[in-house]
Amino acid sequence: MDENTRGTGGGDETVGAKVGKRKVNAAVLRAPGEPLSVETVTLEVPGPHQVRVSLAASGVCHSDLSIQNGTLPFMFPTVLGHEGAGVVEAVGSEVTRVRVGDHVVLCWMPACRECFWCRVGQPVLCENGLTEAFTAPYGTLESGEVLIPGLGTATFAEATLVSERSVVKIDERIGLDQAALVGCALSTGIGAVARTAEVPAGSSVAVVGCGGVGLAAIVGARLAGASKIVAVDRVSAKLAIASLIGATDVVDSSSSDPVAAVRAITEGRGVDYAFEVVGRSSTIKQAFQMARRGGTAVIVGAGSADDDVSFSAMDLFVDAKRILGCVYGSVDADRDFPWLVGLIMDGNVDASAFVSRRIGLDDVNDAFKSMEAGEVTRSVIIY
């Protein structure tokens, strides 16, 4: 045990000022394709630069499902979940960013602030943060098997152990269930518009895929002052929510050609900015075709390594379109998480509109099924 480690306890083996390990319930994935199983996991003693966070809430994002179903490669066994918020309950001896009792949102791309990408102002591409998060001491199964913290944050658990760089302190007046959505959906969607594409006021925008992340992109487009916001989805219930939160037009791609429909709404030209928020080659192609000549397609969805997208050499040149890749909405968490929390607190973003279901940790497999069926925007696990 690290004698210098400080904390207020909350763990089974925590005594006085010393912090021990902590046993928590966590949803464990042993191999792609298997269901998650809720098991007892022992979190390690926080290292000098680590913090233990008692989680209040975690959203279930499509990227968790993509790791579970094998679309995105990962390491196993793991505890998934990367859209969480909670309260710091123990800190390592060298921690300076937060204190015990601070309310925090977890960030799945902790920036080292020292590598090339951090120094050129792209901390979302940090070359060290994720690797360190995957290899730092985290926890073990009852069998003693060492666990990998899913996307570095492992929020499908009552508590998690992460680097201090993986937490951002937030205003305590915001509900942690709403703050959790800042950890992925709101950052990725609003960030895609405000940070990756920097959409100017008056632009026309289309969003293909209106799940948690796509709806956040629609909110981002509204905040940016877009003049037209076309929501595209193949599930009509998603389009109804999209209209409520800011879409000016909707296209049901299960019953009409989405590219022709978007062109028809924009005098035949296509939109200034088309956001792909599904993660498939077919919808990436659609977003590219929906963008006007000289327009921009932004690829937000996380697709698989073997799903190739093809464009002819002439396609790429003749219409002078831009294609922008987008990871985590290009956010700088230290700057943007407090900004997003402020948008919610000021009533500019209605985070509750994203929450379809509040569930328990045991319901996480059902949450994946509902997401696959397109029944929910976000299921949020409440601890």
Shortest distance, position 268 Cβ to Zn ion, whole Å: 35
The three-state DSSP-derived secondary structure of the chain is: CCCCCEECCCCCCCECCECCCEEEEEEEECCCCCCCEEEEEEECCCCCCEEEEEEEEEECCHHHHHHHCCCCCCCCCEECCCCEEEEEEEECCCCCCCCCCCEEEECCCCCCCCCHHHHCCCHHHCCCHHHHHHHCCCEEECCCCEEEEHHHCCCCECEEEEEHHHEEECCCCCCHHHHHHHHCHHHHHHHHHHHHCCCCCCCEEEEECCCHHHHHHHHHHHHHCCCEEEEEECCHHHHHHHHHHCCCEEEECCCCCHHHHHHHHCCCCCEEEEEECCCCHHHHHHHHHHEEEEEEEEECCCCCCCCCCCCCHHHHHHCCCEEEECCHHHCCHHHHHHHHHHHHHCCCCCHHHHEEEEECHHHHHHHHHHHHCCCCCEEEEEC
Shortest distance, position 228 Cβ to Zn ion, whole Å: 27
Chosen residue from 129, 279, 295, 329 binding ligand APR by CB under 6 A: 279
Which is closer to ligand APR, CB of 42 or CB of 78? Answer: 78
Shortest distance, position 313 Cβ to Zn ion, whole Å: 34
By CB under 6 A, tell whether 371 contacts ligand APR. Answer: yes
Binding site partner of 167, from Zn ion, ligand APR, none, Cβ cut-off 5-8 A by kind: none
Near ligand APR in 337-366, by CB under 6 A: none
Binding site partner of 371, from Zn ion, ligand APR, none, Cβ cut-off 5-8 A by kind: ligand APR
By CB under 6 A, tell whether 235 contacts ligand APR. Answer: yes
Closest CB to ligand APR belongs to which residue? 211
Binding site partner of 112, from ligand APR, Zn ion, none, Cβ cut-off 5-8 A by kind: Zn ion
Near ligand APR in 136-195, by CB under 6 A: 188
By CB under 6 A, tell whether 20 contacts ligand APR. Answer: no
By CB under 6 A, tell whether 62 contacts ligand APR. Answer: yes
Chosen residue from 56, 61, 157, 162 binding Zn ion by CB under 5 A: 61
Chain contacts with ligand APR (rule: CB under 6 A): 61-63, 66, 188, 208-214, 232-235, 238, 253, 277-279, 283, 300-302, 371, 374
